């Protein structure tokens, strides 16, 4: 009797062999969202908030649906390059 082939280790097939565990793939947690927010509008809003319009960074992040960490990682460097 012929036995069934081993089950694949990942979604693309058995490229690792039956006894070698697959490498952990990229798991996107946080980080840059799939920009459905207008980056220039976010930059403008952050610039206005830094000038003191009464809006906090949490307010800006909530308005555009991004995290404060995303603002610090992507927007602040872009604003510093513009200065």
Phi, psi of 60 (to 5 degrees): -65, -45
Higher pLDDT, 80 or 11: 80
**Region at 31 (left for phi over 0; alpha for psi -120 to 50; beta for the rest):** left
pLDDT at 21: 58
pLDDT tens digits for range 16-63: 556 655 555 655 565 555 567 788 899 999 999 999 999 999 999 999
Q: pLDDT class for 74, splitting at 50, 70, 90?
A: confident
């Amino acid at each position: 009797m012929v036995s069934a082939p081993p089950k694949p280790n990942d979604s693309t097939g058995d490229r690792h062999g039956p006894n070698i565990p697959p490498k952990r793939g990229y798991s996107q947690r946080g980080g840059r969202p799939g920009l459905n927010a207008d980056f220039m509008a976010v930059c403008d809003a952050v610039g206005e908030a830094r000038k003191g319009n009464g809006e906090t960074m949490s307010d800006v992040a909530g308005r555009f649906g991004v995290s404060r960490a995303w603002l610090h990682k992507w927007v602040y460097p872009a604003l510093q390059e513009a200065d």
